[in-house]
Structure 1
Amino acid sequence: MNRRRFLAALGVTSALAGCLGDDPPIAGDADSTDTDETTTGRTTDEPARTTAGPFDLPIPEDELRRGAPKDAIPAITAPVYSDDWSGFDEVNVELQDSFEVVGVELDGIARAYPLAILNWHEIVNDTFDGRPVVVTYCPLCGSAVVADRLVQGEPTYFGVSGLLWMSDLVMYDDRTNSLWSQVLATAIRGELTGDTLSLLPATISTWGEWKASHPDTEVLVPPPVSGTIRGRQTRQYAVNPYTSYQQSSSIGIGFNDEVDERMHPKTSVIGITADGVARAYPLDPVSKAGVVNDDVGSLPVVVAATMDGTLAAYVRRVDGSVLEFERDGEVLSADGSRWDIVTGRALDGPHEGTVLNRANDRSPMFWFAWADFNPETEIYGQ
């Protein structure tokens, strides 16, 4: 693996407005200091060391970097949903079809979480028909992770610690103040070190594509309509504070020591792991291929992208048979049925209504992030 030391130097100040927060430390709030116990995740009795993938746990404290005070990026704790953003006097930005969203379909409910909101809040503590769920997005890694919002079997709220590990969002839970890696969905320091969250399927799509595939979808309404962990808050939701960052070769806020140079660090990839094999599928080769039928270890998968650049990966095994997919315009076809790329649902034919299982545990993300957390990864087409 060709790796070298990489210093982030381009576009850091303007790109990281959301990551760094726009509020100063709260006077008298010990949680906003670097030395506070709840911020660092230190406990009196440090748990025995364990592992999460290739990483030893707990993560050493000196590997954590402070990007913002605790809760300066205020997680959403009281989400409000609607058909769109019209009719809310507090919302001064129009929801456009081109806006990217994290899409979640669970228990018969479809919801969209615009990145225009998540860039500024990063965490939404939600409930689907009584089921506690946390929706997270790290703008620095371009990664969305959705999971059951349970700690030790009990519902909990997650907040933004303001710390980064490997340029990724570090969350904290309000029950134990343990620190959690967003990409790993694992506690990396504190009382719960080694505990993991149960992941739920999610995708990153455009609002236009998501609502076309989910006509009954709800969409998250920005604060101050939705409430945050710090009460009524609002941000410049019409502004993407990460535009220059997403277009540059910079990584994080300068704390990544190495980068896998096999692709540009901000290349969008969808990653699949199975049987000890990790493989990344970059957007451009997948788009050019139209559809990719592949096997990751013993897992048969199909990978495709929409015209808007939504990457999707599914297990191509249906009723015990492995299907071979072809491209048919804006849908896929196999075994007499046409399949929606965004949802994986068969639209007609003998499999009508059947939904393919997702092959990826996490959303598409930037190449550097996938490679950091899967250092032995292969790349489709290479």
Structure 2
Amino acid sequence: MLKRLMLLLALATPVQASPDIWSREWPDTDFSQTTVTDWSEIRSGGPGKDGIPAIHDPRFAPVDTVQDLDPREPVLSLALEGETPRAYPIRYLMWHEIVNDRIGDMPVAVTFCPLCNSGKIFDRRVDGRLLSFGVTGKLRYSDMVMYDRETQSWWQQAVGRGIVGEMTGARLTDLAGVMESWEQYRDAHPDGLVMLSPGFARDYGRNPYVNYDSAARPFLYDGDPPPHGIAPLARVVAVGGRAWPLERVRAAGRIEEAGVRLSWEEGQASALDTGRIGQGREVGTVRVVDDAGMKLPYDVMFAFAFDAFFPDGQWMLGR
């Protein structure tokens, strides 16, 4: 199928029905505390703990000094009140998946799971406790399982919840980031900042999952396909427990329902299409606000992932 996915599949650990194999690899994780009832859901994605290295203390530069990003390539941006906006290019998150940062007084974890197309930003504090995150190398429903370095607990990236260890049941606070193109961010925030290359030996800007978002099925996922005939790797705009098909938002241009206003604009490339991230097919940028115009946290994720993590979620089909 895809070269990297084939390699990962060859390296992936067979389905495990017990946490014993993981406890040997993770001696400081308390596996007696967990919300996981079926351990066959946890799989190795190939790399081990920190085999995908999270970034800590990233470097930034003013937007007008950065010339190496393609106009349409996606960035995950965050504009906190009273702080200079920051953009985190997907070309870096594709290879590192987590960036631990601090914006003013706000410690944040910027996360991206390529296999679910899930890009989320979280407050790194839980009940006043500051956490920093890394990549376990494990997948659940094809979604990245993160861990915190302070308690070695495991967290589900797509929903920001602790699933194994001391932090089981804890939930991270979602922040209202925006997945937009570099050009859109630059034009909206001419005084903003953008994350610079982390400097690892990676081909930043290359998509290692060529044609993944047009594949027939997700990687390492055995669940049923989404309902209503929606393709597993079709994008949906997930806001809380509701999902709007991206194609519906794109066709309408603007949708107002359920106390949410969604709008679509042209200009953003798919990061998971062609070999170069900035040259992918058009998927556009979605923005989500409430009735008062306040930004809401949202995620433009694959339909199979929404169905897996929100089995009782509401599909906003407009019919």
1:34, 1:241 → 2: CA distance? 29
Aligned to 2:201: 234
Q: With structure 1 as the length reference, what TM-score do the two structures score?
A: 0.70
> Could you tell me which residue of structure 2 aligns to residue 106 of structure 1?
80
Change (3 A) 1:257 1:293: closer
TM norm structure 2: 0.83
Distance in 1, matches of 2:75 and 2:151, equals 30
Task: Indicate how the Cα distance of structure 1 residues 245 and 200 shifts in structure 2: closer, same or farther if over 3 A, else same.
Answer: same
RMSD: 2.6
Say if 1:15 and 1:243, in contact at 8 Å, map to a contact too: no
Is residue 29–residue 152 contact of structure 2 (8 Å, CA) maintained in 1? no
Identity of aligned residues (%): 32
The 1:370/1:35 distance shift into structure 2, 3 A limit, reads: closer
State the alpha-carbon separation in 2 of the partners of residues 312 and 250 from structure 1. 27
Counterpart of 2:4 in structure 1 is 14
Where does 1:1-382 land on structure 2 (aligned, <5 Å)? Answer: 10-11=1-2, 13-15=3-5, 20=8, 34-37=21-24, 39=26, 42-43=29-30, 46-47=32-33, 57-67=35-45, 68-84=47-63, 94-107=68-81, 108-224=83-199, 233-252=200-219, 254-261=220-227, 262-273=229-240, 278-295=241-258, 300-308=259-267, 309-316=284-291, 318=292, 356-359=293-296, 361-376=297-312, 377-382=314-319
User: Residue by residue, what CA displacement relative to the aligned partner does 1:85-123 show, whole Å, maximum 9, x if unpaired?
Assistant: 968xxxxx9211111111111142211111111010000
The 2-side partners of 1:242 and 1:86 are apart by 29
Cα deviation, residue 59, structure 1: 4.7
- C-alpha separation between the residues in 2 aligned to 1:78 and 1:219? 13
> Hey, what's the Cα distance between the residues in 2 that align with 1:245 and 1:287?
21
User: Could you tell me whether the CA contact under 8 Å between 2:29 and 2:151 is conserved in 1?
Assistant: no
1:126 maps to a residue whose letter is D
Deviation at 1:269, TM superposition (A): 1.4
Would you say the 8 A contact 2:239–2:299 is kept in 1?
Answer: no
Shift of 1:196: 0.9
Q: Quote the Cα distance in structure 1 between the aligned partners of 2:28 and 2:153.
A: 5
SS in 2 for 1:259: coil
Q: 1:193, 1:249 → 2: CA distance?
A: 33
| CA deviation vs aligned residue, 1:117-165 (integer Å, no higher than 9, x gap) | 1010000000001321111010000011111112452322100000011
Question: Offset at 1:41?
Answer: 7.3
Distance 1:241 1:34 in 2: 29
Structure 1 residues 182 and 69, CA, compared in 2 at 3 Å: closer, same or farther? same
Gaps of 5+ in 2: 12-19, 268-283
* SS of aligned partner of 2:134: strand
Counterpart-to-counterpart distance in 2, 1:84 and 1:284: 31
Q: 2:155 & 2:181 partners in 1: Cα distance?
A: 28
Pick the structure with greater CA Rg: 1
CA distance in 1, matches of 2:150, 2:203: 31
Q: CA deviation at 1:221?
A: 0.8
